[in-house]
Amino acid sequence: MNRGVKILSVLLVVFSINFNVFSQQDNTLFFMHELPQANFVNPAVAATCKLFVGFPALSSVAANYSNTALSLQDALVKKGDSLYWNPDNVVSNLHGKELITSDVNLTLFTMGLHFKRYYFTFSVNERATVYNMIQSEMIELAWEGNTRFAGDQANVSGTRVNAGNFHEFAFGASTDINDRFRLGVRTKFLFGLGNVYTPKTTGYIFTDENSYALNLLLSSEIRSSLPLDVEVDEDGKVTDVDIRDDASFSNYFMNFHNFGIALDAGFIFKTDDKTTISGSLLDFGGIFWNTELNRFISDGVISYAGTTKDTEFDDPDYFQILVDSLVDIVTPVLDSSGYMGPLVPKVYVGATREISGHLNAGVLVRTEIYRNRLHPSLTLSANTFNYKTLNASISYTIQNGEFTNIGAGIGLKAGPVHFHIISDNIPGFFRLDNTRNLNIRFGLSFVPGCDEKFKTKSSSKSKDIRAIPCYYSPYKSDRKKPRKR
């Protein structure tokens, strides 16, 4: 394989770890407080039973994909039996800086236990996250050529990658502060497996108005913690990048050297008998990467022939010239000092209002904070409660400029076995080519000893606060027999 194409291929694989797998949304889950897994998105939530234990490796599996730019249907046009790129539609959907994210969370084990006035949780999770930010003018230049930028410049600043895979060991506790307010916190110890991170990218592409020649001024840094072999020439320029021959899955998975820490916090505040406000802050922290380090610096100017709308972008010669030009200004730097790769904090704030003894309405604002930019979503939901065997929710979410996200969640209790499946955008699974958001969460858990004896005892000793009341009343002033479905 030609050196330029090979190097670019490896870097693209590195940059796009889990790019096409399904950032963790969980908007529908947030108000399903009778599910033990709701504690994942608000540490203040306590299970309705004394003990719950997640089914090993299937406690909860969550996967999510989203992007702020466009769907595949926006980017393609059908002519006859063939599909072609639709550059005009692509460009019309751009918003400045586009964020493409994915998140996979596999809970290997989890449990929750009521002890005196406190509710304690513990979980072991495998997580993989990707947050790619792309400057839209780069996309516009690639699709339309540089005619529009003649005598002007296209901005490439802000294009960044943060992709990581890590173990997570989480310890949480929650308790009632008073009759109306409940607080929960969780500490998460992280052990990084692999990472690619760009701290900062600045630069622009200038187009000569006479010759249409392009001049790329680029200043960028790429940090990685991966088992890579990097070969350089006598000038110190990169000639080859490849996965090391001795790299193995077992060595990768058993890496506990890259230590990190993160904090979650949540609250539930009952304003009156029918209205509750709740919120949480998740993933506030990061990982210090100090093994298998590589650092690539791109700092220089590239000049190459201009492009227009008539340019054949799939021409191998044109593509090769571009790739080789980019590779020529990439220099590896020996650096054993390590670096900090931050997680992406998430903020949830919402409120519920009881409509009847078994139904309430909720409104939730969720925001991701990435590179000093806010990426919000708004969810409206209707949620059941006070049933012995059922907890369900229907939701509607506005996110990434998409207004067709209809979600649903269901939790079923069959004796000691609890099952849940939740998605924030069910129609997306039936139109994969026309969605910007897609996620799902499902899993099994056991609730041994969740009987009326415990509930009666618990009710007399606890003033547990919930956005969605459990099906037995925890308040001393309202002790009633459990309502049945």
Q: Assign 3-class secondary structure to 208-223.
A: CCCCCCEEEEEEEEEE
The span from the CA of 72 to the CA of 432, in Å, is 8
The span from the CA of 384 to the CA of 400, in Å, is 28
Residue 321: C-alpha distances to residues 156, 162, 315, 326, 477 (Å): 19, 28, 10, 9, 77
Cβ atoms of residues 350 and 364 within 8 Å: yes
How many Cβ atoms are within 10 Å of 44's Cβ, its own excluded? 31
Phi/psi at 189 (nearest 5 deg)?
-95, 125
**300 found inside a domain:** yes
Exposure b/e, 353-386, CB count within 10 A at least 16 = b: ebeeeeebebebebebbbeeeebebebebbbbbb
The span from the CA of 31 to the CA of 42, in Å, is 9
Enumerate residues 6+ apart whose C-beta is below 8 A from 79.
Answer: none
**319 found inside a domain:** yes
Domain limits for position 469:
3-478
**485 found inside a domain:** no
Q: How many independent structural domains does the chain possess? A: 1
SS3 category, 460 = helix
Phi/psi at 307 (nearest 5 deg)?
-130, 150
The span from the CA of 130 to the CA of 21, in Å, is 10
Beta bridge partners of 409: 393, 422
CA 129 to chain centre: 6
What is the identity of the amino acid at 81? D
**Structure token digits, residue 24:** 């963790």
SS3 category, 428 = helix
What local confidence, expressed as pLDDT, does residue 318 receive?
A: 52
Which long-range contacts link 87-94 to residues 24+ away (Cβ below 8 Å)? 87/143, 87/144, 90/139, 90/143, 91/139, 91/140, 91/143, 91/144, 93/69, 94/69, 94/70, 94/136, 94/139, 94/140
What local confidence, expressed as pLDDT, does residue 274 receive?
A: 93
Phi/psi at 419 (nearest 5 deg)?
-125, 140
Regions in the chain scoring below 50 on pLDDT: 1-24, 309, 312-314, 316, 319, 453-454, 456-464, 467-485
CA 467 to chain centre: 25
The span from the CA of 416 to the CA of 446, in Å, is 5
**412 found inside a domain:** yes
**Structure token digits, residue 158:** 């802000």
DSSP symbol at 482: P
DSSP per residue over 79-121, as a string? ETTEEEE-HHHHHHT--SEEEEEEEEEEEEEEEEEEETTEEEE
**369 found inside a domain:** yes
What local confidence, expressed as pLDDT, does residue 15 receive?
A: 40
**Structure token digits, residue 133:** 């930010």
**Structure token digits, residue 403:** 């207004």
What is the identity of the amino acid at 162? N
Length of the chain in terms of residues written: 485
Cβ atoms of residues 249 and 173 within 8 Å: no
Nearest to 40 by CA among 348, 275, 354: 348
DSSP symbol at 177: S
What local confidence, expressed as pLDDT, does residue 266 receive?
A: 97
The span from the CA of 421 to the CA of 445, in Å, is 12
**234 found inside a domain:** yes
What is the identity of the amino acid at 56? P
Nearest to 145 by CA among 319, 327, 313: 313
Nearest to 64 by CA among 35, 37, 31, 101: 101
The span from the CA of 186 to the CA of 307, in Å, is 53
**470 found inside a domain:** yes
Residue 482: C-alpha distances to residues 45, 355, 452 (Å): 20, 19, 9
Beta bridge partners of 119: 114, 174
